[in-house]
Amino acid sequence: GTEFADQAGLSRIEVLDEIGSTNTELTRLASDEPDAWGDLAVLVAERQTEGHGRLHRPWASPVGASLTVSILLRPHNAAGRPLPTQSYSWFSPLAALALREALAQIAGIESALKWPNDVVVDGLKISGILAHLAPGAHGEPPGVVLGTGVNVSLREDELPVPTATSASLAAGRPVDRTALLARYLEEFARRYRAFCAVNGNADAPLDGGRSLLSRVQDATITLGRRVRVELPGGRRLEGRATGLDGHGSLQVVEDSGERHAVSAGDVVHLRP
């Protein structure tokens, strides 16, 4: 644990046998003991009994077949100043890119991002990511808890919804859960440090390479498609998803020509 944390650049990693929700628990732990977790801490559960997604929707995680992990972030730039909170919307796409890389390396699977927070393989959901604010330490701005659920070795009959798949189903062979977790955390930590180093600027080159915005745009299969978007209040939009703006909002152009920047909602990909 500690050795891996040091090597991956994490401040702490803990594994629990069983918990309701790693997101809820890590938020609680971080507010009870603000100094005990550091700036990039990880909580993993062997068994998660009350996992949730957005809007209190349930997240299913069959025991032994899923990864359920939460990451506490207290983002600071190179000068030690807190990152602007506007940059926080980029943490979940950043995590999705890291998971995509881990799935490619460990399971040989090609995956993509579906806006706003899914990782999909051939259109089927293999992972969902849920970010929310966490209490900041000592009067600092809030941190973020970033939860990831990954379907690692669910069999066909264990899939909770018809739109789901698992890594082992997609790869057609067993996938090592621990190896996938380790690679995910390494890939995440590296990208996250690079993003903090540019002060959370999604347009800035990362590690001398392309910007986070352009990497996320390239990996997101929602872009360029016809979509139906259900907004949080229940209103619906239909049109073409043309891109992401600097906050990670989805730009949608309706047939009438009216443009929208959608910051939250559920997307259905429509046939052209």
Interface positions with ligand BT5 (CB under 6 A): 21-23, 51-54, 57-60, 68-70, 117, 125, 128-130, 147-149, 151, 160-161, 164
Instruction: Check residue 64 and give left, alpha or beta (phi > 0: left; psi -120 to 50: alpha).
Output: left
DSSP per-residue string spanning 21-36: -HHHHHHHHHHH-TTS
Q: Considering the complex, what minimum distance in angstroms separates the CB of residue 34 from ligand BT5? A: 20
Rounded Cα distance, 91 and 131, in Å: 8
Instruction: Tell me if the bond preceding 75 is cis, omega within 30° of 0.
Output: no
Taking the least distance from each CB to ligand BT5, the nearer of 68 and 220 is: 68
Rounded Cα distance, 52 and 88, in Å: 20
Q: How far is CA 151 from CA 58, 81, 91, 219, 220, in A?
A: 14, 36, 20, 20, 20
Rounded Cα distance, 88 and 43, in Å: 20
Taking the least distance from each CB to ligand BT5, the nearer of 128 and 239 is: 128
Q: Considering the complex, what minimum distance in angstroms separates the CB of residue 268 from ligand BT5? A: 12
Taking the least distance from each CB to ligand BT5, the nearer of 48 and 201 is: 48
Q: Considering the complex, what minimum distance in angstroms separates the CB of residue 190 from ligand BT5? A: 21
Q: Considering the complex, what minimum distance in angstroms separates the CB of residue 202 from ligand BT5? A: 21
Candidates 143, 141, 178, 170; CA nearest to 67 is 178
Taking the least distance from each CB to ligand BT5, the nearer of 206 and 227 is: 227
Q: Considering the complex, what minimum distance in angstroms separates the CB of residue 92 from ligand BT5? A: 9
Q: Considering the complex, what minimum distance in angstroms separates the CB of residue 151 from ligand BT5? A: 5
Taking the least distance from each CB to ligand BT5, the nearer of 60 and 253 is: 60
Nearest position to ligand BT5, beta carbon? 128
Rounded Cα distance, 187 and 69, in Å: 14
Taking the least distance from each CB to ligand BT5, the nearer of 88 and 201 is: 88
Instruction: Please state at what angle helix 91-102 crosses helix 212-219, rounded to 10 degrees.
Output: 60
Q: Which amino acid is at 158?
A: E
Candidates 244, 182, 197, 189; CA nearest to 218 is 244
Q: Considering the complex, what minimum distance in angstroms separates the CB of residue 83 from ligand BT5? A: 22
Q: Considering the complex, what minimum distance in angstroms separates the CB of residue 245 from ligand BT5? A: 20
Taking the least distance from each CB to ligand BT5, the nearer of 69 and 252 is: 69
Taking the least distance from each CB to ligand BT5, the nearer of 8 and 150 is: 150
Rounded Cα distance, 3 and 6, in Å: 5
User: Which residue bears the tokens 């995590």?
Assistant: 95
